Amino acid sequence: MKIKAVVFDAYGTLFDVYSIQVLADSLYPGQGADIAVKWRDKQIEYTRLITQSDPHNAAGSQYFRPFWELTQLSLTYTLDRLHLSHQEGQVEQLMDQYAKLKAFPENLAVLEKIKEQGLTTAILSNGSMDMLTSAVKSAGMKNVLDHVISVDPIRLFKTSPESYGLVQKTLPVNKDEVLFVSSNAWDALGATWFGFQTHWVNRQGLPFEALTPQPTFTGSDLNSVLVSLDHFKYQKN
């Protein structure tokens, strides 16, 4: 089996969504961690609600809203749920920081090593293209990512099969020639169901979903992806 492309989820995998809690705690002392967790949970909940409510529309869900908009709506909900004020500038500061989320420290070096192996690298994300472009640029990853793929054109979020199908619409690869990498267990499971080889980056030491199948590989950070690639015979594109 040959792996031709390594495709990464963005938020939670390459970019640390919980790093936002540092700024959140400075704006709302003692609430930063709670804001970060509830914000992320609501963001994902909204993507699922939209896609599940209209999954078979050929034009994409009629309820679709770009991920950037859902991110802001999720923040507004989170602040309301925690009975926190929306003082002038606070929401704007948090959203600006979300556009430039901190990358995990090992990521750039790992991406460089994958590129050295002659493999294609890509992001497949629920994120809007503008926010992905901003995050990639801020993290200095522009030169180590060949493609950045957003679900925006199909108006359906992961884990819809159509979202994973965007990889093959962009790259000349078969499903089993893709190693899909995500730190979100639900995303790794969806990609496995779709037919990709998968690698779950389990940064928090959590059990995998009770649903099967298990991902092809697991590891505690992105360095483990390099170990997984050693299990495959790959070819240059």
Cis peptide leading into 159, omega within 30 of 0?
Answer: yes
Decide which of 98, 123, 151 is a domain's last residue.
Answer: 98
Cα 93 to Cα 148: distance, rounded to the nearest angstrom: 25
Decide which of 98, 127, 146 is a domain's last residue.
Answer: 98
Q: Verify that 114 and 146 share a domain, yes or no.
A: yes
Mean pLDDT by 10 residues, the chain (237 residues): 93 96 96 97 97 90 96 97 90 95 96 96 97 95 97 96 97 97 98 98 95 96 96 61
Q: Verify that 214 and 114 share a domain, yes or no.
A: yes
Tell whether 10 is covered by a domain: yes
Q: Which residues are catalytic?
A: 9
Tell whether 36 is covered by a domain: yes
Number of domains in the chain: 2
- Domain of residue 113 covers 5-15+103-229
Tell whether 237 is covered by a domain: no
- Enumerate helices (H) and strands (E) in the chain, giving the number of each: 9, 6
DSSP H or E run through 94: helix 90-98
Q: Verify that 125 and 75 share a domain, yes or no.
A: no
Name the H helices within 10-89.
Answer: 21-27, 32-53, 67-81
Tell whether 196 is covered by a domain: yes
Q: Which residue carries 């389990």 as its tokens?
A: 202
As beta bridge partners, residue 147 has: 122
Residue 233: the pLDDT is 61
Q: Verify that 88 and 142 share a domain, yes or no.
A: no
Tell whether 156 is covered by a domain: yes
Q: Verify that 161 and 188 share a domain, yes or no.
A: yes
114 touches 107 (CB < 8 A): no
Residue 171: the pLDDT is 98
Domain with residue 32: its CATH number is 1.10.150.240
Handedness of CA 170, 176, 181, 186 (dihedral sign): positive
Residue 108: the pLDDT is 96
DSSP H or E run through 7: strand 5-8
Tell whether 235 is covered by a domain: no
Q: Verify that 74 and 109 share a domain, yes or no.
A: no
46 touches 68 (CB < 8 A): no
Q: Verify that 82 and 169 share a domain, yes or no.
A: no
3-state DSSP assignment of residue 163: helix
Q: Verify that 212 and 110 share a domain, yes or no.
A: yes
Tell whether 31 is covered by a domain: yes
Q: Verify that 117 and 206 share a domain, yes or no.
A: yes
Write out 95-120 in H/E/C secondary structure.
Answer: HHHHCCCCECCCHHHHHHHHHHCCCE
218 touches 202 (CB < 8 A): yes
Tell whether 236 is covered by a domain: no
Q: Verify that 132 and 169 share a domain, yes or no.
A: yes
Half-sphere exposure of 215 (CA within 13 A, CB side): 26
Domain with residue 190: its CATH number is 3.40.50.1000
Residue 77: the pLDDT is 97
DSSP at 1: -
Amino acid letter, 90: Q
Q: Verify that 44 and 120 share a domain, yes or no.
A: no
Residue 1: the pLDDT is 63
Q: Indicate the pairing of strand 178-182 with strand 5-8.
A: parallel
Decide which of 98, 123, 138 is a domain's last residue.
Answer: 98
Q: Verify that 108 and 208 share a domain, yes or no.
A: yes
